[in-house]
Amino acid sequence: MTDRIESFIQSRAGKKILGALGVSTPVELQRYSPQQSSFFSGRLLLGAASDAQLLNAAADIIQASDADVLADASALEQCTALDKTADEGRYNALVFDGSGLKNGLELVQAYRFFHDNIRQLASGGRVILLGRPHLQSANAEQAAAQRALEGLARSLAKELGSRGSTAQLITVADGAENNLGAALRFFLSPKSAYISGQVVKISAADQSGEVDWHKPLAGKTAIVTGASRGIGEAIAETLARDGAKVIGIDVGAMEVDLARVMTRINGIPLVADITAADAGDKIAATAKDAGGVDLIVHNAGVTRDKMLVNMSEQQWQMTLDINLASAQRITAKLLEDGLIRNGGSIVGVSSMNGIAGQRGQTNYAASKAGVIGYVDFMQHDEKLRAHNITVNAVAPGFIETAMTAAIPLFTRMFGRRLNSLSQGGLPVDVAEAIAFFGNPLSRGVNGNTLRICGQSWFGA
Ligand code: NAD
Residue nearest to atom 31 of ligand 1 (CA): 301
Which residue of 237, 401, 407, 449 sits with most ligand 1 atoms within 8 Å of its CB, as the best mutation to test the pocket?
401
**Same domain, yes or no, for 330 and 413?**
yes
Residue 339 pLDDT greater than 70, yes or no: yes
- Determine the average pLDDT of the residues in 153-165: 97
Q: What is the CATH number of the domain that holds 244?
A: 3.40.50.720
- Determine the average pLDDT of the residues in 123-132: 98
pLDDT score for 9: 67
**% of the chain exceeding 70 in pLDDT:** 96
Q: What is the pTM of this model?
A: 0.95
**Same domain, yes or no, for 128 and 105?**
yes
**Same domain, yes or no, for 125 and 193?**
yes
- Determine the average pLDDT of the residues in 347-360: 96
78: CB partners within 8 A, 6+ apart? 48, 50, 52, 55
User: Last residue of some domain: 169, 202, 235?
Assistant: 202
Give a yes or no: residue 162 inside a domain.
yes
Q: Which atom of ligand 1 is nearest to the CA of 273?
A: 19
Residue nearest to atom 27 of ligand 1 (CA): 231
Give a yes or no: residue 416 inside a domain.
yes
Query: Virtual CA dihedral for 207, 210, 216, 220, nearest 10 degrees?
Result: -60
- Determine the average pLDDT of the residues in 16-22: 70
DSSP string, 367-378: HHHHHHHHHHHH
Does ligand 1 lie within 6 Å of residue 254's CB atom? yes
Give a yes or no: residue 289 inside a domain.
yes
Rounded distance from Cα 228 to ligand 1 centre (Å): 9
Residue 331 pLDDT greater than 70, yes or no: yes
Q: Which atom of ligand 1 is nearest to the CA of 326?
A: 18
Q: Are 420 and 458 in contact (CB under 8 A)?
A: no
Mean pLDDT of the chain: 95
Does ligand 1 lie within 6 Å of residue 231's CB atom? yes
For residue 87, give the H/E element and its range.
Answer: none
- Determine the average pLDDT of the residues in 185-190: 98
Residue 453 pLDDT greater than 50, yes or no: yes
Question: pLDDT confidence of 23, banded at 50, 70, 90?
Answer: low
Give a yes or no: residue 208 inside a domain.
no
**Same domain, yes or no, for 60 and 193?**
yes
Does ligand 1 lie within 6 Å of residue 299's CB atom? yes
- Determine the average pLDDT of the residues in 365-372: 98
**Same domain, yes or no, for 411 and 279?**
yes
**Same domain, yes or no, for 196 and 236?**
no
**Same domain, yes or no, for 120 and 232?**
no
Residue 178 DSSP SS3: helix
Give a yes or no: residue 445 inside a domain.
yes
Rounded distance from Cα 320 to ligand 1 centre (Å): 13
Does ligand 1 lie within 6 Å of residue 454's CB atom? no
pLDDT score for 8: 67
Question: pLDDT confidence of 25, banded at 50, 70, 90?
Answer: confident
Does ligand 1 lie within 6 Å of residue 38's CB atom? no
Percentage helix, strand, coil, to 5, in the chain?
45, 20, 35
pLDDT score for 24: 65
Residue 75 pLDDT greater than 60, yes or no: yes
* Separation between Cα atoms, residue 92 and residue 126, nearest integer Å: 6
User: Last residue of some domain: 202, 231, 252?
Assistant: 202
Rounded to the nearest angstrom, the gap between the alpha carbon of residue 344 and the centroid of all alpha carbons in its chain is 17
User: Last residue of some domain: 172, 202, 232?
Assistant: 202
Residue nearest to atom 9 of ligand 1 (CA): 226
- Determine the average pLDDT of the residues in 202-227: 95
Give a yes or no: residue 460 inside a domain.
no
Which residue of 255, 302, 329, 364 sits with most ligand 1 atoms within 8 Å of its CB, as the best mutation to test the pocket?
302
How many domains are there within the chain? 3
**Same domain, yes or no, for 234 and 165?**
no
Residue 378 pLDDT greater than 70, yes or no: yes
Domain span at 130? 31-202
Residue 21 pLDDT greater than 70, yes or no: no
**Same domain, yes or no, for 65 and 11?**
no
pLDDT score for 104: 97
Instruction: Quickly count: other Cβ atoms within 10 Å of residue 43's Cβ.
Output: 18
Report the range of poorest mean pLDDT among 39-43, 121-125, 456-460: 456-460
111 catalytic per annotation: no
Q: Are 64 and 37 in contact (CB under 8 A)?
A: no
Residue 13 pLDDT greater than 80, yes or no: no
Question: pLDDT confidence of 442, banded at 50, 70, 90?
Answer: very high
Closest CA to 132 of 101, 110, 106: 101
pLDDT digits (tens, 9 = 90+) for 215-274: 999 999 999 999 999 999 999 999 999 999 999 999 999 999 999 999 999 999 999 999
Give a yes or no: residue 209 inside a domain.
no
* Separation between Cα atoms, residue 400 and residue 125, nearest integer Å: 23
pLDDT score for 460: 65
pLDDT score for 408: 85
Residue 57 pLDDT greater than 90, yes or no: yes
Does ligand 1 lie within 6 Å of residue 302's CB atom? yes
Does ligand 1 lie within 6 Å of residue 399's CB atom? yes
pLDDT score for 344: 98
**Same domain, yes or no, for 408 and 353?**
yes
Question: pLDDT confidence of 16, banded at 50, 70, 90?
Answer: confident
User: In sequence order, what E strands does 185-244 have?
Assistant: 198-202, 221-225
* Separation between Cα atoms, residue 78 and residue 202, nearest integer Å: 23
pLDDT score for 1: 45
- Determine the average pLDDT of the residues in 344-366: 97
Residue nearest to atom 44 of ligand 1 (CA): 351
Residue nearest to atom 10 of ligand 1 (CA): 226
Q: What angle do CA 185, 230, 228 make, to 5 degrees?
A: 110
Does ligand 1 lie within 6 Å of residue 322's CB atom? yes
pLDDT score for 17: 73
Give a yes or no: residue 377 inside a domain.
yes
Q: Are 357 and 402 in contact (CB under 8 A)?
A: no
**Same domain, yes or no, for 54 and 156?**
yes
**Same domain, yes or no, for 20 and 38?**
no
